[in-house]
Each structure stands twice: as C-alpha cells, then as structure tokens.
Amino acid sequence: MLDTSITMNPDVAPQQIIKTVQLAEALNIDSCYIADQGFTLDLYVTLTAVACNTKRIRLGPGVTHPYTRHPVVTAVSIASLDQFSGGRAFLGIGAGGSRSLVPMQIARSKPVQMARETVEIARLLWKGEPVTYAGEFYKLAEARIGFPCRKDIEIHWAARGPKMLELGGALADVNLLHAIPRFELANVVATVRRGAEKAGRTTKLQYAAMLVYDDASRAIARARTVYRLVDSSDEVKAKLGLTAEKLAEMRRLVTTSGPNSAAFLVSDEILSHYVIEGDAADCAGQIRQLIADHGLTGITVEVPDPANAEKLLSFAADVLSRL
C-alpha cells in the first residue's frame, strides 16, 4: 500500500492551515509535513494546533534542520507533539535551506554531521534513559526526557547532496525525495539504497510531487521552484543550464523580494524537471512510471498554496486514487 502525504509551508493564516490538513485527512491522506522556514508561522506551534484539530493524520516537520534548534529541543518537541497527538508524530529532518539560513546569516557547515548527531541524540532520548553523548557538535551529560515517550518515532530524512543521501539511507525510516529534478532521481535513489545496504537496513522512499494541472498551478510551481534551484548542487545547476549571472539575479531577487519576484527566471524547460503535469490520468501515469522505475513506497503532494488547497487536494486525491 502506497504511503500518501501532503507537505506545505505554514505561511498562510492559521485557520487555513488547519482547514487544509483537515481536508487532507478527510481525503484519507496518511501524513502531513509542515516546513520549518524560520520566518513563517512556527513549526511546532503549527503542528500542535493541527494535532489538536485532527484525529488520524500523522504529523511532523517537513523538514526541520539542526542549525536553529538544539537536538534536545527538537527531540523533546517531537516527543511532546507525539503525546499531544496520540502517537501521530514523526521527526522530519534535513540540512536546512537558504530561505531561513541566509537571513539569519547562519553558514550551513558540516550538515551531514550536524544532522546525524541530531538523529542519534533524538533516538537515544526517546528511549527514556539518561543520555551521555560526545559528538563533534553536541555533548550531553545524563540528559533525560522527563515524560514518557514512544521509542520508535520515525525519522524522515530529506537530502540532496550525496553524503546526506547516503546517511539518510543508513539512518532514516523514510527518505523524502523532495526538490529533486527527475533526471537526478535514479542517482539519488541509488545513493540512498547504497547507504541503507551498508547499514544493513531498508528505508522507505517517499517522492514529493508538485502537481501542475492549469495555468495557476504552473505559476505557483514556478515560484516554488526558485528556492530549490538556488539550493541545488553545482552539477544540477550545470545540467539545468543555469548561468552564474542568472543564479546571482535569482538569489538577489529571492532574498530581497521573495520567490514570486524571481519566478520568471524559471523557464518552462527547467520547471518541467520538477513538476508532474497534465490531467489526473496523465499525472497518475507519470507517477506510476516513477514508482515502477525507482521502487518508491510513497507519494507526497506538495501544497504550495495552503490557502487555496481545495482544488489541488481534490485533484491530488483523484490522481492518488488511480495509482
């Protein structure tokens, strides 16, 4: 059975976020990811509010990162969310993106090690025992969570760089394949699998799809693609034919005026690598092909505009029902 989920930024009114997740729940979507973008509504406040207004859907960051929250804070937050939601929480983690780190002027140094330590610490703490830990970045002495918590809270991992991908395979329960151009998917999946094999474990592969079904959804997708281009590896940028000049202008516009102002720099050709486009049958066909080609275990539907998600979610439900 395919795992289904939605992912969104908490950058609209609180009631709209809750309404959108409730709608996803009503459409039998399994999980919901909420992004940790630093300047939007807060991740954990939002997740808690959503938890209190839903019954079944599973909830977690989509994704958080180790640069602005101490691993203990993250582990305690997730365990708390798990308590408030009746065991529905998971920890989604990645390396952090420019959208929050650039304005905070935080350099993304050693993301692999930072993320690894966060996951290790969280898992140790969730066992309920005192933890003493000596990592490169974090050290703990007899640290212990003071309330009962679930030991097997899932780790969902989002990565793009090869080392992060391999570590995700080795560490995570679910690898979220997010913001990856389709021509990179085979490489990415192979890298994750290599990590899992080395560690002697299996991992689930959840592919995040941006669905485009009309002019409006295409325009939104274009703006949302800006950050993923800015944050791509040099190889991907080169394959997409992004010149240094174009990237510099993209970076300037997106940091000063937001992704809408830079959307025009995302050509149709570039966009085509990041979206699933067509009517419900076409989109389902393309996704079926991806599942077959890459052994995906789940599909995440990106909700780029949670304030107006009804149309997208009903389209997505139609697509998912055809898989």
Partner 1 sequence: MTTTADTIILGDWVWAGPGRLIENAAVAVRSGVVLEVGPQTALLPKYEGAKKLGGDGRFVLPGMISTHTHFFQTFLKGVGQGLPLRPWIQKVTSPASITMNEREAYLSAAIGIIDAIRSGTTAIFEFSYAFPNPGIFNAIVQAYMDLGVRGWLGIGMNDDGAEHGLNPALIQPLEKIPSLLDQITDSVQKQGNGLVYPALAPSSIRGMSKKAIPVISEYARSKGLIFSLHVNEITIDNEVAQAKFGMPLIPALADHGALSERFLAVHCVRMTAEDITTLASYGAGVSHNPVSNMYLGSGVAPITEMMKAGIPLSLGVDGAASNNSQDMIETLKFAVLGQRAALRDPACIQAEDALRMATEGGARVLQADGWLGRLEPGYKADVTVFNFNSAKSVPVFDPIATTVFNSGEENVETVVVDGKVILEGGKLVTIDEEKLLQEARSAAVELIRRANIQVR
Find, among 19, 23, 59, 29, the residue nearest to 43 by Cα: 59
- Indicate whether 305 belongs to the interface with partner 1 (CB under 8 A): yes
- Indicate whether 323 belongs to the interface with partner 1 (CB under 8 A): no
- Indicate whether 269 belongs to the interface with partner 1 (CB under 8 A): no
The only residue of 78, 79, 253, 299 in contact with partner 1, by rule CB under 8 A: 253
Q: How many CA atoms lie within 13 A of 276 on its CB side?
A: 28
Spatial contact of 300 and 6, defined as CB atoms under 8 Å apart? yes
The only residue of 235, 241, 248, 264 in contact with partner 1, by rule CB under 8 A: 264
Alpha carbon distance 187, 132 (integer Å)? 37
- Indicate whether 256 belongs to the interface with partner 1 (CB under 8 A): yes
Spatial contact of 50 and 71, defined as CB atoms under 8 Å apart? no
Q: List binders of partner 1 among 218-247 (CB under 8 A).
A: 219-220, 222-223
For residues 37 and 118, which CB has a smaller minimum distance to partner 1 in the complex? 37
Alpha carbon distance 262, 274 (integer Å)? 16
Amino acid letter for position 231: D
Alpha carbon distance 208, 287 (integer Å)? 10
- Indicate whether 263 belongs to the interface with partner 1 (CB under 8 A): yes
For residues 136 and 249, which CB has a smaller minimum distance to partner 1 in the complex? 249
The only residue of 45, 52, 104, 307 in contact with partner 1, by rule CB under 8 A: 307
Spatial contact of 4 and 30, defined as CB atoms under 8 Å apart? yes
Alpha carbon distance 189, 288 (integer Å)? 16
Instruction: Select from 134-142, 255-263, 281-289, 314-322 the region that touches partner 1 (CB under 8 A).
Output: 255-263
Nearest distance, CB of residue 19 and partner 1, angstroms: 15
Alpha carbon distance 229, 231 (integer Å)? 5
The only residue of 257, 272, 314, 321 in contact with partner 1, by rule CB under 8 A: 257
Q: List binders of partner 1 among 201-220 (CB under 8 A).
A: 215-216, 219-220
Strand 139-143, strand 131-134: pairing: antiparallel
Nearest distance, CB of residue 7 and partner 1, angstroms: 19
Nearest distance, CB of residue 250 and partner 1, angstroms: 10
DSSP, res 64 = B
For residues 211 and 253, which CB has a smaller minimum distance to partner 1 in the complex? 253
Nearest distance, CB of residue 274 and partner 1, angstroms: 17
Alpha carbon distance 207, 291 (integer Å)? 9
For residues 180 and 263, which CB has a smaller minimum distance to partner 1 in the complex? 263
Site size toward partner 1, by CB under 8 A: 20
- Indicate whether 262 belongs to the interface with partner 1 (CB under 8 A): yes
Alpha carbon distance 102, 118 (integer Å)? 21
Alpha carbon distance 104, 216 (integer Å)? 32
Q: Which residues bind partner 1 (CB under 8 A)?
A: 215-216, 219-220, 222-223, 252-253, 256-258, 260-265, 305, 307-308
